[in-house]
Amino acid sequence: MKLFQQLKAAFNYGFYSEYRFRRVVRHRLMGHYSEEAPRATNTRKMVIAMFDGRKRHGGLADRLRGICTTYCFCRDEGLDFRLHFTSPFRLEEFLEPNGYDWRIDEKEISYNSHDARPVYIASQDYDEERDNRFQRRMAKKFFNEDYKQLHAYTNMRFEEARFGRTFHELFRPVEWLQRLVDEQLVMLGGRKNYIAVSSRFLESLGDFSEHRERAPKALPEREQELLLKQCGEQLEKIHAAHPDERILVTSDSDRFLRYVARYDYCRTLPGKIGHMDVVEGEKEVHTKTFLDFLVLSEAKRHYYLIGPAMYRGNFSRRAAQIGEAPFHEVLF
């Protein structure tokens, strides 16, 4: 079996993945480009990270890691980097440039097939270190193609070590969002004055819509109750280890957040939960996503619960990275 997996991985990285990436470009993206479209006017070669709804982009954590990795690659290679994030909202509604101005006017984006080409690079579930090397190789290959604009559809992750610093170089919350964050920080006792516990249940508790084709179905009610109880027991253990700390609890399940209300040391954040790739046009949902992420980033320590039928996500891990805080997985 080990030999089979090794052969499968070798085939995947030697041929199939690049073929699949190019196939996505041909069948899902190239139809938006033509010889008749306006020509590109930029003189310096440009890579534009694209989140325009022409394909699924993933949740906030996936999008941010793709943006930060692409930016790091461009900076290292001397390429101009821009960000076109318009689906399901304009990113500038929530985050604005900080140390680097990544904005681009839509009129500056060319879909002329002589000047511009889409690039698709996805993260995969194989060995992460090997996948990172493969992604970097594909980035060098695709972004060195002879076009004035390369339009990157990606959630690349090979710059994990630089993610936190890069996030701050690129982004800061807009004023109204920062006020919401500050209000919650007051309730929690201030920056770096609380710990965070996070979880992702997907559909396991029957109250979250996820776009993944292989997402687990809702558990039977008896198993849902057992899972909630097990998570509660883990919360109690974490509280016992930090008896004087408030605990911020975030999750993709309203049911779980209602469940933790029984613990007087737990706090949750207001707002409606939803997935960025599923919900369209609901600013309340997207505000909740950014509020959770930014308030999580101010915690002094992070715990991530992973129990039966639960999902190992990246949302709280990314928040811990930008806050330079310890991150612990709790498996049970």
Residue 74: pLDDT band (50, 70, 90) is very high
Q: Could you tell me if 95 and 171 are in contact, meaning their C-beta atoms sit under 8 angstroms apart?
A: yes
Question: What is the arithmetic mean of pLDDT over 175-190?
Answer: 98
**Mean per-residue pLDDT over the chain, rounded:** 93
CB 158 within 8 A of CB 69: yes
What percent of the chain has pLDDT above 90?
87
Tokens of 233: 């027991």
Reported as a single tens digit per residue, the pLDDT across 265-277 is 999 999 999 878 7
pLDDT at 280 over 80: no
pLDDT the model gives residue 277: 72
Distance of CA 162 to the CA centre of its chain: 15
How far is it, in rounded angstroms, from Cα 297 to Cα 284? 20
Residues comprising the chain, all counted: 332
- Integer Cα distance of 63 and 68 in angstroms: 9
The predicted pLDDT at position 16 comes to 86
User: What pLDDT was estimated at residue 214?
Assistant: 54
Band the pLDDT of 99: cuts 50, 70, 90.
very high
Residue 72's nearest CA partner among 142, 139, 131, 133 is: 139
Q: Where are the domains of the chain?
A: 2-165, 174-331
pLDDT of residue 10: 65
CA distances to 50, 67, 78, 91, 215 from 152, rounded to whole Å, are 6, 9, 16, 16, 26
Q: What is the CA radius of gyration of the chain?
A: 21
| pLDDT score of 187 more than 60 | yes
Task: Match domain 174-331 to its CATH number in 3.40.50.11350, 3.30.9.10, 3.40.50.300, 3.30.70.3340.
Answer: 3.40.50.11350
Asked if residue 218 lies in contact with residue 309, where contact means CB atoms within 8 angstroms, the answer is no
What are the Cα distances from residue 150, in Å, to 18, 65, 184? 17, 18, 40
Which residue did the predictor score with more confidence, 106 or 214? Answer: 106
What local confidence, expressed as pLDDT, does residue 4 receive?
Answer: 60
Task: Give residue-wise pLDDT tens across range 105-153.
Answer: 999 999 999 999 999 999 987 788 999 999 999 999 999 999 999 999 9
Q: Write down the pLDDT at residue 234.
A: 98
Report DSSP letters for 295-321, one per residue.
Answer: HHTT-SEEEEEE-TT----SHHHHHHH
Does the global pTM surpass 0.85? yes
With 0-12 / 13-18 / 19 or more C-beta atoms within 10 angstroms meaning exposed / middle / buried, residue 160 is middle
Neighbours of 245 (CB within 10 A): 18
CA-based torsion, 67, 69, 70, 72: positive or negative:
positive
Burial 293-330 (b: 16+ CB within 10 A, else e): bbbbbbbebbbbbebebbbebbbbbbbbbbbebebeeb
b/e code 5-34 from CB counts within 10 Å (16+ = b): eeeebeebbeeebbeebeebbeeebeeebe
Given a cut of 60, is residue 1 above it in pLDDT?
no
> What's residue 276's pLDDT?
82
- Tokens 């929690």 appear where? 188
Residue type, 17: S
pLDDT of residue 5 exceeding 80, the answer is no
Distance CA 72, CA 64 (A): 12
Q: What is the pLDDT of residue 85?
A: 98
